[in-house]
Amino acid sequence: MPKANKISTVAVIGAGQMGTGISEVVAKHGHAALVYDLDKSRIRASIEASAGYFRRQVETGKMPGEAAEEAISRIKGAFSLQDLASADLVVEAVSENEGIKRKVFTDVCTVLKPDAILATNTSSLSITRLAASTDRPNRFIGIHFMNPVPVMKLVELVRGIGTDQETFATAKDFAQSIGKTVTVSEDFPAFIVNRVLIPMINEAIYTLYEGVGNVEAIDTGMKLGANHPMGPLELADFIGLDTCLSIMQVLHEGLADSKYRPCPLLVKYVEAGWLGRKAQRGFYDYRYVPARPTR
């Protein structure tokens, strides 16, 4: 069983926004990061983005050049599943779709060392249910990072019903070794942070839908009135409106309480493909600088 200090190679599956940030903090703190994605061009783009991140760290005086180059050299692309065989820990960070995640686990388990730990960065799905689709429910755990990963100090650790104590201790030590503070959540829909945060965002969208205020009024209200670094609609665009909707659906179905019903305006934006920053349009239109509210 790998202990935290024995975790030297971390495979990150999914080279999107979260996967890229995870490999950056992993490499920054001395572990090797293997970046895997079905789409090979995303692997290259992720590694390039991480190199850009480390070079900006040097330019702004936050990291010595040598340390940055070493960190860059610790991030490698994994262009076939077989390349993940050396991983001590795998962090799955593919899109928030249970079918896709299950397929990833089925495939990766065929190449992993028997004692490797398998972790998911799911923001809302049941860890116990995901664990059951693997060959190692005892070595399966939720390690939930926040976006932007290099900046946010927290990770939530979530045990499934079968996660053993050693896996939990190893994951906790690993999270601390990459500079994160750990909070522990029970395995209930959306865990702690998203259970509180996403209904707040959904309520902000209802506030917009019902005409209580426009985008600017709602975001200014919460930024200056509640000292949030971003207004809730700006934050929704940052997280991705499809992700916000899917978390509300998990809460609504999982807790069977109408207070979690997704706002119809959120559904409409997602149906339009206005998914937030990544689609250039959501509650703001990012094709303009500065971004313009869409309502």
Q: Which residues are annotated as a binding site?
A: 14-19, 37, 96, 101, 123, 147, 278
Site membership for ligand CAA, residue 197 (CB under 6 A): yes
Six-digit token string for 66 = 């040598």
Nearest to 78 by CA among 21, 110, 38: 38
123 catalytically annotated: yes
Return the amino acid letter for 290. Answer: P
156 catalytically annotated: yes
Which is catalytic among the residues 23, 46, 123, 202? 123
SS3 state of residue 250: helix
Count of chain residues binding ligand CAA (CB under 6 A): 17
When the beta carbons of 2 and 282 are compared against ligand CAA, the nearer one is 282
Question: Position of tokens 């703190």?
Answer: 29
Which residue in 230, 255, 267, 291 binds ligand CAA (CB under 6 A)? 230
Show Cβ contacts of residue 258 under 8 Å, excluding neighbours closer than 6 positions: 252
Query: Minimum Å distance from CB 148 to ligand CAA?
Result: 3
Site membership for ligand CAA, residue 151 (CB under 6 A): yes
Nearest-CB residue to ligand CAA?
123
29 catalytically annotated: no
Q: Using an 8 Å Cβ cutoff, are 109 and 28 in contact?
A: no
Query: Minimum Å distance from CB 222 to ligand CAA?
Result: 11
Q: Using an 8 Å Cβ cutoff, are 155 and 175 in contact?
A: yes
Site membership for ligand CAA, residue 16 (CB under 6 A): no
Find the distance separating the first CA and the last CA of the chain, reported in whole Å: 54
Q: What residues are annotated to the active site?
A: 123, 144, 156, 194
